[in-house]
Structure 1
Amino acid sequence: MTDKIFERDPSDPKRKELSPVLKLALELGPLLIFFFANARGEWLAAQFPALSALGGPIFIATGLFMAATAISLVASWLLVRSLPIMPLVSGIVVFVFGALTLFLQNDTFIKMKPTIVNALFGAMLLGGLAFGKSLLGHVFDSAFRLDAEGWRKLTLRWGLFFFFLAVVNEVVWRSFSTDTWVAFKVWGIMPITILFTMSQMPLIMRHSLEGKGE
């Protein structure tokens, strides 16, 4: 039952896949809206007076970020009839911490969201390894196949990388202005993640089962 709600077996011939461009748009879209709303919060409040009830720019951005995240998840479900674990868990944390941010008028909660999400995934991956399980394929809904050693190494690296992102987020939001944190969240984390992903390609190629037979 759960595979109908969340991820489906990558080997399922009926499985639907999002194109890489559309997948990136669904993941990056809410962040861009968050960045724009924080930068132009006063203008948005003037154009749409109802938004002023949310508070200042960061609170307007938080509200729109929550709405955009919900739309992204719904769109993903409508397109492929499944919700990958990582965006789903991230979305749940966005809704919980976003609601706390708006209700308490304290932007600390939304700033802590990336820390919580990244630490959660890091703990999940490294905790799984401690019990002999490589959970990375489930987290990323992976389309490629690796041998056991490849999954173990890649899971370890990604687990440590998630903790690195959690630490970086804490340093940035505690040390710099809200505008700087928002800009880094949108324009810093994504390039860092892309570079890290690309750096793992040699390992993936070495341990890939594609073309090697079973």
Structure 2
Amino acid sequence: MSETSSKAAGQGARLLTDVGPVALFILTYFLGRRVVGEDALYWATGLFIVAMLAALAYARTAHKRWPPMLLLSAVIVTVMGGLGILLKDPIFIYVKPTIVNLFLSYLILFSFAFGVNIWKFFFKEVFDLPDRAWTILAIRWALFLQFLAFLNELIWRHISDGDVAESARWFADFSVTEGFWVNFKLVIMGLTLVFGLLNIPIVMKHQTTDEAAKSE
């Protein structure tokens, strides 16, 4: 297999491990609503945890290493989702994406205080970029992750058919259903894809520069 084909296969596997658990969560939730009613959220969360752990095991087997971001996400998902299922409290499940995104965002930003770019550490095997480009990408993604956390907070705090207290709401006249919150994960995935595409120019610019420098 050529290097290009190998990278393409690797990216395809990475996409599957990222999208697969979310797709399973959404599908299980809406099918479960017809069978187990309000408990569908807990069934979907349980399968989501299993899917995340399976994706982590697959990544470990295929790449002989633990992908840091996937590992951190799996730990938080398992803890928060497990608490939600154990206590039958959907709030733990609603707030889980917020905690994942904020944890990763502040991990990126705080790493600079120790002279480390954790974003480079996460993806140095995928891209070969100068430190300045890694810094720009790290800051961009840290801010974007905070934006995703804000969106999740905006949506879950206004779920009308869940156990969300009125005091948690930001806007009295705004309300959504739990199903809307579940489907909103597709919007989050779309926004993440678009944001990733918007960052391709800086990656291509610096990779092209590096390759040109090596050929001189």
Regarding TM over 0.5, the answer is yes
- 1:90 alignment counterpart: 73
Q: How many residues align?
A: 190
Structure 1 stretch 117-126 or stretch 72-81: which is displaced more? 72-81
- 2:42 alignment counterpart: 59
Using the TM superposition, give the Cα deviation of residue 153 of structure 1 relative to its aligned residue in structure 2, in angstroms.
1.2
Q: Is the contact made by 1:34 and 1:61 (CA closer than 8 Å) also made in structure 2?
A: yes
Q: Is the contact made by 1:85 and 1:141 (CA closer than 8 Å) also made in structure 2?
A: no
| Cα separation, partners in 2 of 1:141 and 1:34, compared to 1, 3 Å | farther
Using the TM superposition, give the Cα deviation of residue 82 of structure 1 relative to its aligned residue in structure 2, in angstroms.
1.3
TM-score normalised by structure 1 residue count: 0.81
| Larger RCO (CA within 8 A; separation ≥ 6) | 1
| Cα separation, partners in 2 of 1:173 and 1:92, compared to 1, 3 Å | same
Structure 1 stretch 140-149 or stretch 76-85: which is displaced more? 140-149
Q: Where is the helix percentage greater, Structure 1 or Structure 2?
A: 2
Tell me if 1:73 matches 2:56.
yes
TM-score normalised by structure 2 residue count: 0.80
- 1:32 alignment counterpart: 23
| Cα separation, partners in 2 of 1:182 and 1:141, compared to 1, 3 Å | farther
- 1:41-84: CA deviations, max 9, x gaps? 14455xxxxxx9xx711111111111111211112222222121
- 2:167 alignment counterpart: none
| Cα separation, partners in 2 of 1:142 and 1:113, compared to 1, 3 Å | farther
Runs ≥4 residues deviating over 3 A:
42-45
Quote the Cα distance in structure 2 between the aligned partners of 1:82 and 1:29: 20
| Letter matched to residue 179 of structure 1 | G
| Letter matched to residue 120 of structure 2 | G
| Alignment gaps of 5+ in structure 2 | 1-5, 159-175
- 1:196 alignment counterpart: 195
| Letter matched to residue 34 of structure 1 | F
Structure 1 stretch 17-26 or stretch 167-176: which is displaced more? 17-26
- 1:120-166: CA deviations, max 9, x gaps? 11101111224432221223454111112111111111111111111
- 2:148 alignment counterpart: 165
Secondary structure of residue in 1 paired with 2:211: coil
- 1:85-118: CA deviations, max 9, x gaps? 1111100111101110111101111111111111
Q: Is the contact made by 2:24 and 2:47 (CA closer than 8 Å) also made in structure 1?
A: yes
Secondary structure of residue in 2 paired with 1:83: coil
| Alignment gaps of 5+ in structure 1 | 1-15, 46-51
Across the aligned residues of Structure 1 and Structure 2, the Cα RMSD in angstroms comes to 2.1
Structure 1 stretch 140-149 or stretch 166-175: which is displaced more? 140-149
Quote the Cα distance in structure 1 between the aligned partners of 2:157 and 2:22: 20
Quote the Cα distance in structure 2 between the aligned partners of 1:78 and 1:44: 35
| Letter matched to residue 172 of structure 1 | I
